[in-house]
Amino acid sequence: MTIHVVEVSRVTPAPNSDSVLNSTNFLAIPLTFFDLPWLVFKPAKRFSSSPTLTFKQVFFYRLTELTREHFHSFILPKLKLSLSLVLRNYLPLSGRITWDPQESKPSIVVSENDAVSVTIAETHADFSLLSGYGQRPASVVHTLIPELPVSDDSATVLSIQITLFQGNGFSIGVAAHHGVSDGKTLAMFIKSWAHLCKLGNNIPANLTPSFDRSSLVNVNDVTELDEKMIQLVTSLRKDKTKTKSLCPNPARKLGDDTRDGSLLHLSTFVIAYAYTWTCLVKARGGDGDRSVSFLLGGDFRERLDPPLPATYFGNCIFTVGSYKRKAKDFTGEKGFVTAVEIQGDLVKGLSSRKVETVAAEFAVGFDSIGESSQVGSVAGSTRFGVYETDFGWGRPVKVDVNVSIRGEGISMAEKRDESGGVEIGMCMKKADLDIVLALFNSGLQS
């Protein structure tokens, strides 16, 4: 597929009389212990299923009579203007992550002239294919998403690409650094941008980000927790001479690419993830005694004491998992039930987790992933409402919530046109995907 880049522009936050930049010309927000782990994970676009450094999303909008002239003279100016306006509220997204040698941990730094890079492109690719639910070449989808530059001393926070499919519509590709935001924060930002583009008035309260970190600052021994996480982040680096580098570790290739039911935690998330995980393990085959692990994350905003605001800006995900289980636990007749029980217990157990254990949990998980022949992970949520993202030209016909996933990783979102439904995304070699889909479909039919 050929992509023609028309321009690469810089969109700065619109002036704001209340902006801290007007008085200081400089804003620095230290990363928290929830942000720090994402600095050691690899970039996206690599074949592995462990968590990735970057969120990569694509929103497809169908406009069957869209001309090049209308796109460039009307749609693009509205998108750029509303992006500039929304960045006033989401100021850290226009900045970068840096690690001052004199500071104990990295910070999000925003200076007066910082901006978000916006790539404008055009293509004659098949819009219906790329925005459909069938199999698509991952390399083609990735051309709709911009790069997110990361070096030893600086990491870009956000990049955007808007691509015209003349006569069919356009797509918006978003790349965001996971060290600054989790999935909920990114979803809030994109819906806020869409709200301003469509309606032009103030962002509603449920989309206005909160930068109140008092609940994190008041965590017992928060300094000690920060230090433990910094030690872990630096100790896990491959290059021990660059302990304060913002470049992630290189990608590591993972292999070849009876209980009372009333006590179970049966949610859409658990059932969908458990079923998909058993299909993935069965598809891999091999020795039933081989070691497998899977991860899941829970939003900790409301689980803190006192809780953080629901619109808290940043990462607030507590990752837990089931590590070094035997593959045969999930391939037998009771494999699905076993996966539901384990994942349900993990979700229920999040409420009793102490934030002070986040560093230890991260260390255990990182070590276990390295010792497992197969690792599952899930990105996204059925609660983000991605299909509510209307910029003024209707809801998206398709949203790929995380095209960074690889291997046994999956993405999850609510179904566009069915309340309570779920969309599951996977990305792997076609031969492997065909096996997984055959198992997935046959299991549903039986």
178 catalytic per annotation: yes
169-177 and 398-400 strand pairing: unpaired
* Given 142, 177, 178, 195, the catalytic residue: 178
Residue 242: partners with Cβ closer than 8 Å, 6 or more residues away: 152
CA distance 36 to 33: 5
Measured distance between the N- and C-terminal CA atoms of the chain, rounded to whole angstroms: 39
Largest CA distance in the chain: 65
- Burial class, 146, CB count within 10 angstroms (exposed 0-12 / middle 13-18 / buried 19+): buried
Q: Which long-range contacts (CB under 8 A, 24 or more apart) does 432-436 make?
A: 432/257, 432/283, 433/135, 435/283, 436/279, 436/280, 436/283
| Tally of CB atoms within 10 A around 205 | 8
* Given 126, 345, 390, 432, the catalytic residue: 390
CB 32 within 8 A of CB 142: no
239 catalytic per annotation: no
Residue 264: partners with Cβ closer than 8 Å, 6 or more residues away: 340, 341, 344
Residue 183: closest CA among 376, 361, 37, 380: 380
How many residues are listed for the chain in this entry?
446
* DSSP state for residue 312 in the 8-state scheme: B
Give Cα 312 distance to the centre of its chain.
16
Active-site positions?
A: 178, 390
